[in-house]
């Protein structure tokens, strides 16, 4: 069977992550074109464009368009690509606004096309194992889920204080940009709709009034006496720390020095234009009465998700790496990892990046209209929860009913 063909709009970190699947499995996927104004050459492909509009206007021969551009550049190309007959692998979120998200999904259903959103966590061994245990009935019916996304002190500063997700007028709300993965997991695990949401959150630390006396607007200009004790110093984050450099196509020390000197990533975390919360908690009620509490916080030393699921006959406790499953009757657990996720791969998110692409190829080759419609519709659920949570937070925690 011939490899399916894809076009990539946006050659940043996520575009490169999905495109790596084609390099690893050329018999299954071929990247035939890349559009990016600055770094299209970082993804091997026979055709390159600097503007995604020029790419789609030419209607290149392909099955899939991968949209991995900034959030505010998802809606328009998604509609154009669907109208032109392409399927979409769309990096989350679908769009920064609920109306635009609904419009994209409606257009896909009208055209009978697949929209697979980059909810990579459900395609990992760890989170898929949780789903298998719940579906097996071994812990009974789920009553409560308590879940925390520990974003990591370095990641919150990079993306949500200094970076492109820091300002709500320019990007999606943090509860959507960071936590749509988690809301997707809850809806998938429970297999039903979220009906009511309440949420609280704010900026605890990253405000001008919390800056140390004498701190300047850029780290490079800050006195050594202040930088030495600052957790958020850009030199420490981009030169001494490995956790962020993988995000950049050029991660050399020379490039990182230039980043600190010239880019927004060199700004003092107390003197940025950020307005999104650095911590937020969401309480949800699902059909059937199950309740879920989700906390996102940037003040952690590890970037990990921890989970406690309480069922009527047992519980699941996960630390992000290992699951501790206990049946109240003391019986042995019989549910293993789903076979589709037993093959290890080298991609990030615990192998979820490659497994997501593989799942899209499987769905398209099977070409079942009902499955395509169902998967496309499911992509919207996590976004609806996130938008409801943000409305609640802005209303001081008011309960928001989800239509």
Domain of 322, CATH number, reads 3.30.360.10
State pLDDT tens for residues 63-100: 999 999 999 999 999 999 999 999 999 999 999 999 99
Is the same domain home to 182 and 240? Answer: no
Question: Does 8 have pLDDT greater than 90?
Answer: yes
Please indicate, yes or no, whether residues 212 and 201 belong to a single structural domain of this protein. Answer: no
Sorted by sequence, the CB contacts under 8 Å of residue 151 that are 6+ apart come out as 160, 178, 296, 297, 298, 300, 303
Per-residue model confidence (pLDDT) at position 333:
80
Q: CATH code at 48?
A: 3.40.50.720
Q: Kindly state whether residues 291 and 386 are assigned to the same domain.
A: yes
> Of 312, 340, 341, 347, which is closest to residue 327 (Cα–Cα)?
312
pLDDT confidence of residue 342:
61
Structural domain count, the chain: 3
> pTM of this prediction?
0.92
Q: Provide the residue range defining the domain that includes 228.
A: 208-266
**Inter-residue long-range contacts of 211-217, CB under 8 Å, 24+ positions, other chains counted:** 211/268, 211/270, 211/271, 212/270, 215/268, 215/270, 215/271, 216/268, 217/267, 217/268, 217/271
Phi-psi region of 320 (alpha: psi -120 to 50; beta: other; left: phi over 0): left
392 and 334 fall within a common domain: yes
Q: Which residues fall within 8 angstroms of residue 377, CB to CB, at 6 or more apart?
A: 105, 109
pLDDT, one tens digit per residue, over 127-159 is 999 999 999 999 999 999 999 999 999 999 999
- 88 and 147 together in one domain: no
Same domain, 172 and 213: no
Residue 340 pLDDT: 66
**pLDDT beyond 70 at 56:** yes
Q: Which of 237, 266, 295 is the last residue of a domain?
A: 266
Boundary-marking domain end, from 117, 149, 179: 117
Q: 322 vs 306, which has greater pLDDT?
A: 306
CA distance 307 to 290: 15
pLDDT, tens digit (0-9, with 9 covering 90-100), for 106-119: 999 999 999 999 99
What's the pLDDT tens digit per position in 228-285?
999 999 999 999 887 888 888 888 989 999 999 999 999 999 999 999 999 999 999 9
pLDDT band at 349 (very low <50, low <70, confident <90, very high): confident
Same domain, 137 and 100: no
Same domain? For 145 and 156 the reply is yes
Same domain, 22 and 64: yes
Q: Which of 243, 266, 289 is the last residue of a domain?
A: 266
Q: Alpha carbon of 259 to those of 224, 234, 253: distances in Å?
A: 19, 9, 10
Examine the domain organization and report whether 58 and 126 are in the same domain.
Answer: no
Instruction: Judge if 127 and 256 occupy the same domain.
Output: no
Q: Does position 169 have pLDDT exceeding 90, yes or no?
A: no
Domain co-membership, 385 together with 307:
yes
């Amino acid at each position: 069977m011939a490899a399916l063909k894809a076009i990539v709009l946006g050659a940043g970190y996520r575009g490169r992550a999905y495109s790596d699947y084609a390099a690893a499995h050329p018999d299954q996927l071929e990247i035939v074109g890349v559009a990016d104004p600055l770094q299209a050459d970082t993804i091997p492909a026979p055709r390159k464009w600097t503007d995604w509009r020029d790419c789609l206007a030419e209607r290149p021969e392909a099955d899939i368009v991968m949209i991995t551009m900034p959030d505010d550049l998802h809606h328009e190309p998604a509609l154009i690509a669907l109208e032109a007959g392409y399927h979409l692998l769309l990096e989350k979120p679908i769009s920064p606004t609920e109306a635009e998200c609904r419009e994209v999904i409606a257009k896909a259903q009208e055209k009978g096309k697949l929209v697979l959103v980059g909810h990579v966590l459900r395609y990992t061994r760890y989170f898929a194992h949780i789903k298998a245990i719940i579906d097996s009935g071994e812990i009974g019916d789920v009553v409560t889920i308590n879940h925390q996304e520990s974003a990591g002190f370095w990641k919150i500063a990079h993306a949500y204080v200094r970076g492109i997700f820091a300002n709500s007028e320019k990007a999606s709300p943090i509860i959507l940009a960071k936590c749509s993965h988690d809301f997707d997991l809850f809806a998938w695990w429970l297999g039903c709709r979220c009906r009511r949401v309440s949420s609280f959150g704010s900026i605890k630390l990253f405000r001008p009034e919390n800056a140390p006396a004498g701190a300047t607007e850029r780290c490079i200009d800050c006195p050594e006496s202040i930088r030495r004790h600052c957790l958020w110093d850009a030199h420490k984050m981009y030169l001494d720390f490995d956790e962020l450099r993988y995000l950049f196509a050029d991660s050399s020390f020379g490039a990182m020095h230039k980043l600190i000197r010239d880019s927004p990533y060199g700004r003092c975390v107390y003197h940025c234009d950020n307005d999104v919360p650095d911590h937020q908690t969401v309480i949800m009620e699902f059909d059937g009465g199950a309740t879920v509490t989700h906390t996102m916080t940037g003040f952690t030393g590890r970037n990990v998700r921890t989970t406690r699921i309480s069922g009527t006959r047992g519980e699941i406790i996960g630390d992000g790496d290992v699951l501790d499953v206990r049946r109240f009757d003391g019986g042995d657990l019989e549910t293993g990892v789903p076979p589709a996720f037993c093959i290890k791969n080298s991609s990030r998110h615990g192998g979820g990046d490659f497994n997501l692409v593989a799942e899209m190829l499987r769905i398209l080759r099977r070409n079942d209209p009902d499955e395509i419609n169902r998967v496309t519709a499911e992509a919207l659920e996590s976004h609806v929860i996130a938008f409801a949570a943000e409305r609640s937070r802005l209303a001081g925690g008011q309960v928001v009913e989800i239509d």
